[in-house]
Amino acid sequence: MGTKNSRLQGFYNLPPLQRLELVRSFDGLNESDIQALHGSSITLTIDRADKMIENVIGMFNLPTGVATNFQINGRDVLIPMVVEEPSIVAGASYAARMVRAGGGFQTSSTESLMIGQVQLVQVADPERVQETILAHRGDILKLANAQSRSLIALGGGARDVEVQTFPTSPMGPMVVVHLVVDCLDAMGANAINSMCEAIAPLLEMLTGGRAYLRILSNLSDRRLARARAVVPPAALERNGIRGEEVAEGIMWAYSFAAVDPYRATTHNKGIMNGIDPVLIATGNDWRAVEAGAHAYAARSGRYTSLSVWERDEAGNLVGTLEMPLAVGIVGGATKVHPTAQAALKLLGVRSARELAEICVCAGLASNLAAMRALATEGIQCGHMGLHARQIALAAGATGNLVDEVARRMVEERVIKPARAEELLTELRGA
């Protein structure tokens, strides 16, 4: 029986193998899952990799960390994160602890509806084809649904047809048909693209036009995940700064992102810092989610913050994040990559929607961690220790020397490759 408690105190200070033992005790994972997460044995064989993409010559490794302290809809969750940037896993875990003090994250999501687009040009009467296309809605849906038997068998598939007309464009007028598809637990790109390609000839026949592009839209604004977090001011207290003061600083940080696209871009990057690592760990298409996120952030016509922060009557800080999250737990790399399979098991998700909801919590947590640091001691303070370790590693430090060289550089506030090399020579000679 596992512990199922993500509040793993002292996890940060353990060596990797002991951390892995604690992850094992979180239950549901067998030995091969543990090995896949650890990456000690070859988890992705070159043969498998060679089937995933083209011109394969090898494999690329990244660290897998585990974010702790997350409580989502009352359930404790350990979140695997694959990422190269220091402080992201620590920041998300720290923020999740603050949110935990306010009752944890609450989430919801829409159905997994995605849009496929078929572009039609040289349509004789663009304004009138809408009627013709919609009059054949049933035939279009039937043809689309004939392309993906498995999705239909599970209750998903093409649900609706919509028509948009663009009277002008650099090349002239065009009609764009939207096919709305319920992708259930798949990300859905393959199914949607096949459907779009299949219905294009029928649309050409109905409109007398010519179909060019037949592809999904990554602005998946009907496939949204939402998270809400309440942080009591007491949980924000740190290094002698009162919680209320930190909350005030965070509200100014959010306000900055709300009004200024230059700041909103960085603020949203901080949100994606929490999401992309989960997408990578679970074998999902992070470029698709990135594209959708930023387009959604500009949906009002002006690019702004994806998250919203406010204070409730009790003085708690309340954060919400709603954004498109087109993720899958079946098909693609989620199925082929053993570590992705183990990561999904560790997360304990049974649907793509549950995974999307966890992602959005990780995003909100990263956002909170970044704003808290920025509004108080600054981002460099937390970064410095880990950055110094990377410089020490790059200078050739191994074992205990990594921490020792890093510690000294932070103490001296000189974190430079040349200083790391000097310290290394000095310590090796000692």
What number of helices (H) and strands (E) belong to the chain?
18, 10
* C-beta neighbour count of 374 within 10 angstroms: 18
With 0-12 / 13-18 / 19 or more C-beta atoms within 10 angstroms meaning exposed / middle / buried, residue 304 is buried
Task: Based on the shown chain and the rule CB under 6 A, indicate whether residue 269 belongs to the binding site for ligand MEV.
Answer: yes
State yes or no: residue 382 binds ligand MEV (CB under 6 A). no
Q: Could you say whether residue 266 binds ligand MEV (CB under 6 A)?
A: yes
163-170: long-range pairs with CB below 8 Å, 24+: 163/129, 163/130, 163/133, 163/134, 165/126, 165/127, 165/129, 165/130, 167/126, 167/127
CA distance 175 to 119: 6
The answer to whether the beta carbons of residues 279 and 359 sit under 8 Å apart is: yes
Q: Six-digit token pair at 329?
A: 């737990």
Min dist CB 379 to ligand MEV, Å, is 5
Contact 387, 372 (CB under 8 A): no
Please identify, using beta-carbon distances, which residue of 91 and 332 lies nearer to ligand MEV. 91
Binding of residue 370 to ligand MEV (CB under 6 A) = yes
Asked about 50 being catalytic, the answer comes back as no
Q: How far is the CB of 430 from ligand MEV (least distance, A)?
A: 36
Which listed residue (65, 102, 104, 270) binds ligand MEV by CB under 6 A?
270
Would you count residue 90 as binding ligand MEV (CB under 6 A)? no
- The DSSP element (H or E) to which 69 belongs, if any, is strand 64-72
Nearest C-alpha neighbor of 90 from the set 76, 104, 105, 79:
79
Q: Is 142 a catalytic residue?
A: no
The residue (of 112 and 367) whose beta carbon lies closer to ligand MEV is 367
Give the nearest residue (CB) to ligand MEV: 270
Residue 46, classified by CB atoms within 10 Å of its CB into exposed (0-12), middle (13-18) or buried (19+), is: exposed
Least gap, CB of 267 to ligand MEV (angstroms): 5
Shortest CB 373 distance to ligand MEV, Å: 7
Report the site for ligand MEV in 67-86 (rule: CB under 6 A). 85
Q: Smallest gap, in angstroms, from Cβ of residue 377 to ligand MEV?
A: 13
The two three-digit tokens of residue 418, written as one number: 């040349």
**Comparison of 169 and 266: residue with beta carbon closer to ligand MEV:** 266
387 binds ligand MEV (CB under 6 A): no
To the query of whether residue 47 is one of the catalytic residues in this protein, the response is no
In terms of Cα–Cα distance, which of 45, 88, 61, 39 is closest to 274?
Answer: 88
Candidates 190-198, 205-213, 268-276, 299-307; binding stretch for ligand MEV (CB under 6 A): 268-276
* Site size with ligand MEV, rule: CB under 6 A: 9
CB neighbour class for 359 (10 Å; exposed up to 12, middle 13-18, buried from 19): buried
Least distance from ligand MEV to the Cβ atom of residue 266, Å: 4
Q: Does 267 bind ligand MEV (CB under 6 A)?
A: yes
> Rule CB under 6 A: is residue 251 a binding residue for ligand MEV?
no
Rounded CA separation 9/23 (Å)? 13
- Catalytic hit among 285, 322, 354, 357: 285
Catalytic residue among 204, 244, 383, 421: 383
> Does residue 383 carry a catalytic annotation?
yes
Cβ at position 412, least distance to ligand MEV in Å? 24
Please check whether residue 261 is in contact with residue 302, taking contact to mean a CB–CB distance below 8 angstroms.
Answer: yes
Which of 71, 207, 273, 339 is close enough to bind ligand MEV by CB under 6 A?
A: 273
* Span near ligand MEV by CB under 6 A; candidates 64-72, 267-275, 325-333, 341-349: 267-275
Positions that interact with ligand MEV (CB under 6 A): 85, 266-267, 269-270, 273, 370, 374, 379
Active site positions, annotated: 85, 269, 285, 383
